Amino acid sequence: MSFKRHIPNIVTLLNLFSGCIAVIFAVNGDFIAAAIFVFLGIFFDFFDGLLARKLNVQSPLGIQLDSLADLVTSGVVPGIIMFKLIADATNSPDLGVNAESWNTVFHWEQLKLPVLPLIGLLITLASAYRLAKFNIDEDQQTYFKGLPVPANTLVILSLPLILEYQNSDLMNSIIYNQWFLIGLTLLSCYLLNSNIKLFALKFKNWGFKDNAIRYIFLIISVVLLIVLQFAAIPLVIAFYVLLSLVSRSKI
């Protein structure tokens, strides 16, 4: 049995390992460290499929393993982060929210389970459903149907990064608004499992004519990231969806 057939799966397991570490940091409220390991996991996620194609060792096992790893790195972690952000928002004294009314509905002996923040975990459920659908959908070879799970994860991860590194009163007030967070959660769940066709960043050749939509997206994304830093991430994903809708005849 050739060792090379195991190389992509090893890389996939590195994605899962990174995701597990990110979960630990996210649970402990260290969102920056969690983001670093999620980014590392997404990096491994990109290369496992590429290696499988280059080595010609694609397999049903690899497909299933990839989705299981993605569920942790790009499903569980953003769900936990959204849970904690909503919990922080509903406990903020500046928002006029009665934390007791939200956070002590489930109270048994030493167990206190905040209720409203549980909405954030819908991201994890929607991600799992999206990944399961992807595995049995044979149409999504040259395009995506619904927002890819890693792309949605980047949007959620951008929120604590914006809070930490950009420190804008306007952006902070938006991110710490519980209704914004709940709305974003529900929008994420919809986009993950929608039937919207989104172009994939797969280049069959390097010609501009055949890849105009991809080059336009990449150029504008780089400009936005340079100018707006982490605040650009939600805009980049929104632009990705909008550009796909406008150019759907070419996808």
- CA 194-196-202 angle, 5° bins: 120
pLDDT number for residue 103: 52
Residues 87 and 90: their CA atoms lie apart, in Å, by: 5
| Domain ranges, ordered by start, for the chain | 3-140
Q: What is the pTM of this model?
A: 0.87
Write the burial class of residue 221 (CB in 10 Å: 0-12 exposed, 13-18 middle, 19+ buried). Answer: middle
Residues with Cβ within 8 Å of 163's Cβ and at least 6 positions away in sequence, in order, are: 171, 172, 175, 176
Residues 191 and 200: their CA atoms lie apart, in Å, by: 15
pLDDT number for residue 93: 44
pLDDT number for residue 109: 58
* Rg of the chain, C-alpha, whole Å: 19
Structure tokens at 227: 């100018």
Which of 37, 126, 40, 118 has the alpha carbon at shortest distance from 80? 118
Which of 184, 189, 191 has the alpha carbon at shortest distance from 146? 191
pLDDT number for residue 99: 46
* pLDDT tens by residue, the chain, 251 residues: 577 777 888 999 999 999 999 999 999 999 999 999 999 999 999 888 777 777 777 778 888 899 999 999 999 999 999 999 999 998 754 443 444 544 555 555 566 667 889 999 999 999 999 999 988 877 766 788 999 999 999 999 999 999 999 988 999 999 999 999 999 999 999 999 999 999 988 777 677 777 888 899 999 999 999 999 999 999 999 999 999 998 876 66
pLDDT number for residue 40: 96
pLDDT number for residue 227: 95
